[in-house]
Amino acid sequence: MIMNALLLTDFHGQFGKLDAFLRLEPELVIISGDLTNFGPVAPVLSMLAQIDVPCFAVPGNCDPREIIDALEESNAVSLHGSSILVGKISFLGLGGSNPTPSSCPFEMQEEEIGSLLTNLLQRRERSMHNVLVAHAPPHGTVDVVNGEHVGSTALRQHLKDFDLVCCGHVHEDRRVCDIDGVKVVNPGPAKDGYGAMIQFGDEPKDIDVELISV
């Protein structure tokens, strides 16, 4: 059974494009962090209440830590530090980011990211399509800022454990790349009307990604 998912990230508190995104009629919504711009978290609850299909979200580095509680209270599923099986799709989530020059509220050292991911992978249930929903991109993928790769080295070490990585964080590197058969997609900031439609097919590795704008 083919499933169409909408991937959004980096709202930074600007939700004006959400209605246009939802008119694309996705069966599933994935949010890869930075729902707020250092808070507040209350408007996130109203935004998520507008999404009437299953929604899975992780926080970003610009989200305050209390975003976790807000996601737990919301209509969405908080994926940070957990995994879930949806039909033939296994989702695993890890929010926040590796350290940045800005010292944002939801950052972790690479060692912590690696430890969390290792523990999650030991517990997750593999399926036909195995998806990582993260905020930070894996290092050396869709993570170029001013000619430098700024993604997470810990995420990169576990790239082969997935078929698809959904991320964001780096506004300047909106694209899809394929590394050793693993697709990595950074859809660009939703605040600017950017996103991606992902079609999960009936066979392993049958995952199509289309960058969109509204």
Tell me the β-bridge partners of 52: none
Percentage of the chain with pLDDT > 70? 100
Half-sphere exposure (Cβ direction) of 23: Cα atoms closer than 13 Å: 8
pLDDT tens sequence across 69-97: 999 999 899 999 999 999 999 999 999 99
pLDDT tens sequence across 97-150: 999 998 899 999 999 999 999 999 999 999 999 999 999 999 999 999 999 999
Beta strands in the chain (DSSP E): 3-8, 28-32, 55-58, 77-78, 82-86, 89-94, 129-134, 144-145, 148-149, 164-166, 175-179, 182-186, 194-200, 207-213
Secondary structure (3-state) at 110: helix
Total-model pTM: 0.97
Specify the DSSP class assigned to residue 159: G
Percentage of the chain with pLDDT > 90? 97
Instruction: Give yes or no for residue 207 having a pLDDT over 70.
Output: yes
**Are 107 and 6 spatial neighbours (Cβ–Cβ below 8 Å)?**
no
**Are 187 and 8 spatial neighbours (Cβ–Cβ below 8 Å)?**
yes
pLDDT tens sequence across 12-53: 999 999 999 999 999 999 999 999 999 999 999 999 999 999
Domains in the chain (CATH in brackets) are: 3-213 (3.60.21.10)
Other residues' Cβ atoms within 10 Å of the Cβ of residue 104: 17
